[in-house]
Each structure stands twice: as C-alpha cells, then as structure tokens.
Amino acid sequence: MRNIVVLDAPSNLGLRPPAPGVVPGCYKLAGALREQRIVQRLHALEGGVVVPPRYDRGDWQMGDGVFNAAAIASYTVRLADRIERHVRAGDFPVVLGGDCSIQLGASLALRRVGRYGLAAIDASPDFRHTGNSDRIGAAGGEEVALATGRGQEDLTNLEGLRPYLRDEDVRFFGIRDEFEEDRAELAALKIPVVTVGDLREWGADALARATAQAFEIPEIDGFWVHLDADVLDPSVMPAVDSPDPEGLLPGELTSLLRPLLASPSCVGLNITIYDPDLDPEGTAGALLTDIVVDAFAQS
C-alpha cells in the first residue's frame, strides 16, 4: 500500500479574470476540499502547500503570449520539486489545485524521473496553441499543448526537458462530443480521445481498465491522472469557469477514476478548476470530494 499524500497547489495563474479586477476563485479549491475532510477520509498524509506567486497580469494584451508566464514557470519548478520527491519516495501525491496549469508541475516532475503518460479527464482537451488559435494567453486551457512542447520556450522547455510528455503517451477522457475540430487535430497526432458519448457506449470502467493496461508496458514508467471538475455536467457541478452541457454524471466519473487510480502504474492525481466562489452552499465541493474518496475507497 502506497501512502497517499495530499499536497495543495492553490494557483490560479492560468485563468482569465472572471470579471475586471476579480481574480479566479479556484485557488480556494484546496481549502474547500479540506473543509470536506478529504485528507482524513483518504487516510492520507499531510503534504503541505506550495504557495503560488501573486496573480498579476500587469499590462498584458492579447498577442503577448501566455500571461503570468514567468510566475507559472517559477511555480512549475517549485511544484515539480515537491511532486518529484513524493514520487521517488513511492508515495501517491494527490494535488489539490488550482487551475489546470498546475499539471505542468506534475509533467515536469515526472519528466525528470523518466517517461510517463497522462490520463486527462476534462471537458476540453486544453490543447490550444499558436498552430490552432490566435487566442493564446490562459495556460489553464493550454497546459497539455505546453507539456507536449507546443508554445513559448519559457514554459515548454524548462530545464531543457522539452517535451515533458510525448504525444503518444497522452489520453483524453470526457471531452464533449461537439469539439470536432479539436478531436480531428488530436486524431491526426494519434492522441486517443474518449468523448462522453464514447464512455456511455463502451463503459467507463472498461475503457479505464484498457487505458491502465496500455500504460503497463516496459517503455513507460507509469502515468498521472489529471481531473478537471468541468468534466462533470453543470447540473451537478456548476462551480467551474466554463460549464459545458452534456457532461459526465457522478457515478460515471467514479467508474472512470477507480481503475485508473487502482493501477500500480498510476503515480498521482491532481484535481483542478472547482471554484468555491461559485458554490456558496458548498454542495458541489462536497460532491467532488465524495467522488474522489469513493474512487479510492472502491478501487
């Protein structure tokens, strides 16, 4: 049995402001899930917190590249230091975000250790880059593109380790069926994409088991799971920055997570995007905690 270690990464550096002068509230995710006693319910060890730099876009304008880039780069290295330490020790880090840009910390950490895959559970593929968009700016919608080496040097080539992830080692789950253009690009790159419709047709449990087995080859040292709360349907998870309809229901997400987290090749999990500011009663945060705890308890 590996020790689960809960580590806070409360960075909102990769999201656009929800309104002028307002910072994204997803930096409160860790506190909200801790309030739901996630550490105790997972029987986890305390991993502390990696404190992010201040959210400050300064005079950034569209066309300037990724905003907060220097802050994200420095934070990625510090978060990677902490994650790497736990992975090398044989622990299982559960990283509470934060926005999706914290995934760069995990990807860099694992690149230092060896060759690892990524199972990204997300409503969108977060694969925006200069080759497919003129709206580059928010790393929280670009982190997989950055991790696979697409984008500006100061984020894609930290420590000279570009790419942190190989295209063929990435898997997407829960992408909304209407994102046909994104899916076409990923298909051309031979990056597997499992949509919500696919999950319902083939079964979340079966697809997750097949994915875990696919990562159990000698060439790959393991894989990481990235969970974006917006993969859930807005009817149960409205507290995200970009709620998209026709998402997964709680039981479907739990069934997807269980085999992935149970795999001996899985080395960690991060949880992102849930915004407590959009959940005044705390019900969505309680649900998200229940899903994660259930996925571990029954894995």
Asked whether residue 244 carries a pLDDT value surpassing 70, the answer given is yes
- Tokens at residue 166, please? 């190989």
Mean pLDDT score, 80-106? 98
Query: Whole-model pTM above 0.85?
Result: yes
Tell me the pLDDT band of 298, cut-offs 50, 70 and 90.
low
For 183, half-sphere exposure in the C-beta direction (CA atoms, 13 angstrom radius) is: 14
Share of the chain above pLDDT 90, in %: 96
- Please, are residues 60 and 137 in contact by the beta-carbon 8 Å criterion? yes
Residues 117-135, mean pLDDT to the nearest whole number = 96
Residue range 113-123: mean pLDDT, rounded: 98
Average pLDDT for 87-109: 98
90: pLDDT strictly greater than 50: yes
Distance, CA of 30 to CA of 17 (rounded, Å) = 19
**What is the per-residue pLDDT for 299?**
46
Whether 292 contacts 38, CB under 8 Å: yes
- Summarize pLDDT for 128-186 with one digit per residue, the tens: 999 999 999 999 999 999 999 999 999 999 999 999 999 999 999 999 987 777 889 99
For residues 231-240, give the mean pLDDT.
98
Where residue 63 falls among pLDDT bands split at 50, 70, 90?
very high
What is the tens place of the pLDDT at every residue in 4-57? 999 999 999 999 999 999 999 999 999 999 999 999 999 999 999 999 999 999
Give the contacts of 42 (CB within 8 A, at least 6 positions apart): 4, 6, 94, 292, 293, 296
Which are the contacts of 56, defined by CB distance < 8 A and separation ≥ 6? 68, 71
Closest CA to 252 of 266, 235, 232: 232
Q: What is the DSSP string of the chain?
A: -PPEEEEE----TTS--SBTTB--GGGGHHHHHHHTTHHHHTTPEEEEE-PPPP---TT--TTS-STTHHHHHHHHHHHHHHHHHHHHTT-EEEEE-SSGGGHHHHHHHHHHHS-EEEEEE-SS-----TTT-S----GGGTHHHHHTT-S-HHHH-GGG---SS-GGGEEEEEE-TT-HHHHHHHHHTT--EEEHHHHHHH-HHHHHHHHHHHT-STT--EEEEEEEGGGB-TTT---SSS--SS-B-HHHHHHHHHHHHHSTTEEEEEEE---GGG-TT-HHHHHHHHHHHHHHHT-
What average pLDDT does the chain have? 96
